[in-house]
Amino acid sequence: MSSPVPPPRFDLAESFPETGEPAARAAQDLPGALALLTARRPRGGAEYGVALDALAAADGLDEPLDRHLAEHPDDTEARVVRAARVVRRAWELRGTEPGAQVGAERFDAFFALLARAEQDLVRVVVAEPADTAAWGLRLSTARGLALGTSEAGRRWRHLRAADAHDVRAQREYLQHLTPKWGGDWGRVDAFVGEVTAAAAPGSAEWALVPYAALTRWYDDHRAEGTSAMRWPEVVTGLDAAEQSFLAAPTPSRYEAVLAHTDFAVALGLAGKRGRSAAHFAQLGPSLAPGTWALGADHRSDLENIRASALAEGRRR
Amino acid sequence: MSVLRTEVDGVPTLFAERTDGHVTGGLVFRVGWADENLAVRGLTHVVAHLAMTGLVEDVHRYVDTHATYTQFRAQGTAQSVSHVLSGLCTAFSELPVDGLEPEKELVLAEADGRHRVPRPDALYRYGASSHGLCAYPETGVPAIGPDLVRVWAAEAFTRGNVVLWLSADRLPAGLRLPLPEGPRLPPPAGADSRTPTPAWYRSPDPDLLTVTGVVPRSPASVVFTDVLGAALHREVCEEHALSHAAGAVLTVRDADSAVVTVTADSHPGERAGVTGGFVDVLARLRWGALLDEEVAAAARAAADQVSRAAADHETVSARAVGELLGIPHPEPDEHAAALAAVGPDDVRACAEAFAASSLAGVADRGLGWAGWAAAPLSSPHELDGRTYPGRDGHGTALVVADEGVSVVGPGLRSTVRYADLVLMTSYADGGRHLVGGDGFGVEVEPTLFAIDGAALARIDEAVDLARVVRAPARAAQDLPQPRPAEPDPPAPVPPPAVPHAAPDLTPAASRPGWRDRLPRLGRRSS
């Protein structure tokens, strides 16, 4: 009798327990937790980002952070953590419904939270212009506040000047360039081209190709089934990107989860079940929640591919 | 070459020697449009024009009216310049009021030909008085009569209220300045912002960011302005190519304060990036990585500029204005040293003052996201009184109360209290346009509201006649008509259209309260 397929594990801190250490320590020792977080620099690096996410989600830190910042207003690390918590709360409040279904009152509260986070983030980036975590959060606030592609572009260029290969920030900026946030698909394609032109073999940046393809399919074509994911130009792009991604080991274990999830879902929808399964096998129980959600109505099919991949892995 | 301080015929005088044979000179009076009120807006300009009418024609001379001073200039031979300056002084005692109507026409024609730049920033900061009057056209000109110009000349164009400056090979011998006696006027009141700051409003030109803020007048404010302008230019023009032109300028407002004005245009589609760039640049000057060298370079540049400045007629004219406004003017070496001593902490203090007092005209999403509050688009209260429904059927109504009038409706609330009235344009066709000191206005129009003659009479009886400007009946096609659509949001201003009316022919002195129409200058109890 075969054992059941493990449920998806979306929390990276759970997959990589060492990234949860700052959050685990924060309630008893906030300065110590902040020091642990700082030790995971470079800011915006994948491990730092996962640790920051865990701190952003931890309970009971708002008052200690406020007190700490009242005493240490120049502690930019604490400001980043406070802002990350507020940004997370803002997006949770907004939910994932289309804008038309979000009432004015909820939008007002959403904007107010993002504006509050901006107050901390601007102080961080002017004190430490190379803080990519703060710039990355500012890309998120800019999108929620609907500041437009001009301001998003300015923020992205500041971030890029510090680290052109920040995978999470690239995805955030790509969202700004889509039509629903004021851009167009031509700008998305150009941005993906710009990123991959500078990406090393094995880099998770190659997964921006499936991420962009999935985003476009989800926004414009999901009502038509999966045919748009099988268009020749889409498949050709996925093939080339996958080849470059697999050409060398991925330096970051955390970014690898993002990238493998992108390829697994995109190739699955494109009908390349075998190659999709290979990425699911690499992921094991881990999955990146954002891309998984893009699978939309086809998640049961993807779950089948994933189940067979994980079962095959166990038989070996 | 230095500027010599002396006295000519009892008038403080600044003299700079020049050797090219030319003579330039000027009289600067401590009176400007910020001393007026809306009902007599344009009075200083008319008096200045009138004083010039009797002067010889073959001398290059002109007059500029500013917020807090009025400057006459003449250029030519020593004799002709002396003749103009003496003639002007004489004219203030004997204004050629027979020429008043043609001069008023000229003043209005000048206004027609001038491109009016909307100044919502001034309106939000000062309301419809003092420095806020620059947001309005010269509303009072049509109703200005001979008595008013005589009294204004006697009040403001006096020996105690003027500084003479000259740039010549020597002081002209025997120059007489026969001005009436009178003291120096205090600066205009009302410099505090009426709108809680920092605040943002929607820019009348969506492609232009304009931000003003008040800083202490000091060497640090000069350096701060330079650092701010240069940093903004670098961010939005050079590094991100969002704007063609961006910078900051400093305008001295009075002895204690100066106004920093930031402007930045935007390339198509880049407004939000320009606004975001400004927010970040200002934040950096307050909290961020402000480089010592960045400040030092700006301080050196400002000091060099002061050291290089020649004692030409522009310099001596500017010093005369400073002397008149009570602004100390140190010697160039001393001034340059003070500028060179400005450090990052001084610049940060200016940045804090600028941010706290800032009014930002922006497009699109406003600046709520960056901590600026939206400037109010409605009066804080509506009055309780008799209600006259609007004729448009959309719920708009006029309220006539004992203490003032309100217009209310969906998303609309504008109130003028009679005690705060600065202007009521009274049309012979029954229209009454009231403007309050805060800049909010109420247009009482019988064509728009079911208002009767008795209600109009109540308003007419309640207002201060000194604030009333009469205008003739408008043509039928020019009367406002009920709109089928929703009403526009209340504008906290709308500078009223210039009532280009024929002047009220009623002799001013025969109208009650004519003398009270004068701005209250806080001097001379009569």
Which of B269, B276, B283 is nearest residue A126 as measured by Cβ atoms?
B283
The model's confidence at residue B497, banded by pLDDT at 50, 70 and 90, is very low
Beta bridge partners of A303: none
Which residue from B minimizes the CA distance to A73? B287
Domain boundaries for CATH 3.30.830.10 within chain B = 3-168, 199-374
How many Å lie between the alpha carbon of B492 and the closest alpha carbon of chain A?
Answer: 24
Q: For chain A, what are the domain ranges?
A: 1-166, 184-316
Which residue from A minimizes the CA distance to B269? A150
Is there a contact between B369 and A118 if contact means CB atoms under 8 Å apart?
Answer: yes
Q: Is the dihedral of CA A197, A199, A202, A208 positive or negative?
A: negative
pLDDT > 50? residue A260: yes
Least confident residue range of A120-134, A302-316, B137-151, B372-386: A302-316
Beta bridge partners of B163: B28
pLDDT number for residue A170: 97
The model's confidence at residue B125, banded by pLDDT at 50, 70 and 90, is very high
Beta bridge partners of B248: B262
pLDDT number for residue A3: 62
Is there a contact between A129 and B289 if contact means CB atoms under 8 Å apart?
Answer: yes
Are the CB atoms for B140 and B48 separated by under 8 Å? no
* Listed ranges A4-13, A42-51, A234-243, B483-492; the one with the highest mean pLDDT: A234-243
Least confident residue range of B206-210, B231-235, B312-316: B312-316
Is there a contact between A148 and B272 if contact means CB atoms under 8 Å apart?
Answer: yes
How many Å lie between the alpha carbon of B354 and the closest alpha carbon of chain A?
Answer: 17
Is there a contact between B276 and A155 if contact means CB atoms under 8 Å apart?
Answer: yes
Average pLDDT over residues A39-44: 68
Query: Which of the 8 DSSP states describes residue B447?
Result: T
Helix B43-52 / helix B146-156 crossing angle, nearest 10 deg: 90
Which of A127, A141, A155 is nearest residue B289 as measured by Cβ atoms?
A127
**pLDDT tens profile A66-86:** 999 999 999 999 999 999 999
pLDDT > 60? residue B494: no
Which residue from A minimizes the CA distance to B275? A151
How many Å lie between the alpha carbon of A285 and the closest alpha carbon of chain B?
Answer: 40
How many Å lie between the alpha carbon of B371 and the closest alpha carbon of chain A?
Answer: 7
pLDDT > 80? residue B508: no
| Residue A296 in contact with partner chain B when CB distance is under 8 A | no
Least confident residue range of A37-46, B8-17, B515-524: B515-524
Q: Tell me the average pLDDT of chain A.
A: 92
Give CA–CA dist B103/B42, Å, rounded.
Answer: 12
Q: Which two tokens stand for residue B488?
A: 């526009």
| Residue A161 in contact with partner chain B when CB distance is under 8 A | no
The model's confidence at residue A315, banded by pLDDT at 50, 70 and 90, is low
Q: Which two tokens stand for residue A97?
A: 């419904």
Q: Which of A126, A156, A159 to mutate to test the interface with B (most CBs of B within 10 A)?
A: A126
**pLDDT tens profile A166-178:** 999 999 999 999 9
Residues in chain B: 526
State what percent of residues in chain B have pLDDT above 70.
Answer: 90
Are the CB atoms for B224 and B350 separated by under 8 Å? yes
State what percent of residues in chain A have pLDDT above 90.
Answer: 76
pLDDT number for residue B58: 67
Give CA–CA dist B17/B27, Å, rounded.
Answer: 17
Is there a contact between B368 and A129 if contact means CB atoms under 8 Å apart?
Answer: no
Average pLDDT over residues B178-184: 93
Q: Give contacts of A140 with chain B, Cβ < 8 Å.
A: none
Average pLDDT over residues B423-437: 95
**pLDDT tens profile B454-465:** 999 999 999 999
pLDDT > 90? residue A189: yes
How many Å lie between the alpha carbon of A113 and the closest alpha carbon of chain B?
Answer: 9
pLDDT number for residue B1: 53
Q: Tell me the average pLDDT of chain B.
A: 87
Q: Which residues of B286-319 are buried (b: 16+ CB within 10 A; e: fewer)?
A: bbbebeeebbeebbeebbeebeeeebebebbbbb
The model's confidence at residue B485, banded by pLDDT at 50, 70 and 90, is low
The model's confidence at residue B501, banded by pLDDT at 50, 70 and 90, is very low
Residues 6+ apart with CB under 8 A from B499: B139, B142, B425, B427, B469, B471
Least confident residue range of B27-36, B130-139, B246-255, B516-525: B516-525
pLDDT number for residue B349: 96
**pLDDT tens profile B29-59:** 999 999 999 999 999 999 999 999 877 666 7
- Could you say which residues from 176 to 205 on chain A have a Cβ atom under 8 Å away from some Cβ of chain B? none
pLDDT number for residue B115: 58
Which residue from B minimizes the CA distance to A154? B273
**pLDDT tens profile B254-269:** 889 999 999 999 999 9
Q: Which two tokens stand for residue A9?
A: 């594990």
Q: Which of B200, B227, B282, B369 to mutate to test the interface with A (most CBs of A within 10 A)?
A: B369
Q: How far is CA B284 from the centre of its chain?
A: 31
Q: Give contacts of A144 with chain B, Cβ < 8 Å.
A: none
Is there a contact between A154 and B287 if contact means CB atoms under 8 Å apart?
Answer: no
Residue (of A160, A146, A248) closest to A206 by Cα position:
A248
CATH topology for the B3-168 domain: Cytochrome Bc1 Complex; Chain A, domain 1 (3.30.830)
pLDDT number for residue B522: 32
Give CA–CA dist A41/A23, Å, rounded.
Answer: 16
Q: How far is CA B101 from the centre of its chain?
A: 24
Is there a contact between B280 and A115 if contact means CB atoms under 8 Å apart?
Answer: no
The model's confidence at residue B523, banded by pLDDT at 50, 70 and 90, is very low
Is there a contact between B269 and A151 if contact means CB atoms under 8 Å apart?
Answer: no
ipTM of the shown complex = 0.93
Is there a contact between B269 and A150 if contact means CB atoms under 8 Å apart?
Answer: yes
Report the CATH number of the B199-374 domain.
3.30.830.10
Q: Which of A87, A154, A158 to mutate to test the interface with B (most CBs of B within 10 A)?
A: A154
DSSP B256-309: SEEEEEEEEE--TT-HHHHHHHHHHHHHHHHHS---HHHHHHHHHHHHHHHHH-
Q: Which amino acid is at B288?
A: G
The model's confidence at residue A100, banded by pLDDT at 50, 70 and 90, is confident
Q: Give contacts of B277 with chain A, Cβ < 8 Å.
A: 154
pLDDT > 60? residue A216: yes
Which residue from A minimizes the CA distance to B271? A150
Q: Give contacts of B242 with chain A, Cβ < 8 Å.
A: 150, 154
Are the CB atoms for A188 and A236 separated by under 8 Å? no
| Residue B279 in contact with partner chain A when CB distance is under 8 A | yes
Which of A111, A141, A151 is nearest residue B272 as measured by Cβ atoms?
A151
**pLDDT tens profile B410-426:** 888 999 999 999 999 99
Least confident residue range of A109-123, B1-15, B454-468: B1-15
Which residue from B minimizes the CA distance to A124? B288
Q: Out of 3.20.20, 3.90.25, 2.30.29, 1.10.4030, which CATH number does the structure's domain B386-491 have?
A: 2.30.29
Average pLDDT over residues B133-155: 92
Q: Which residues of B398-414 are buried (b: 16+ CB within 10 A; e: fewer)?
A: bbbbeebbbbbbeebbb
Of residues B134 and B229, more confidently modeled:
B229
Average pLDDT over residues A1-30: 83
The model's confidence at residue A316, banded by pLDDT at 50, 70 and 90, is low
The model's confidence at residue B519, banded by pLDDT at 50, 70 and 90, is very low
How many Å lie between the alpha carbon of B270 and the closest alpha carbon of chain A?
Answer: 5
Q: Are strands B373-374 and B199-202 parallel, antiparallel or unpaired?
A: parallel
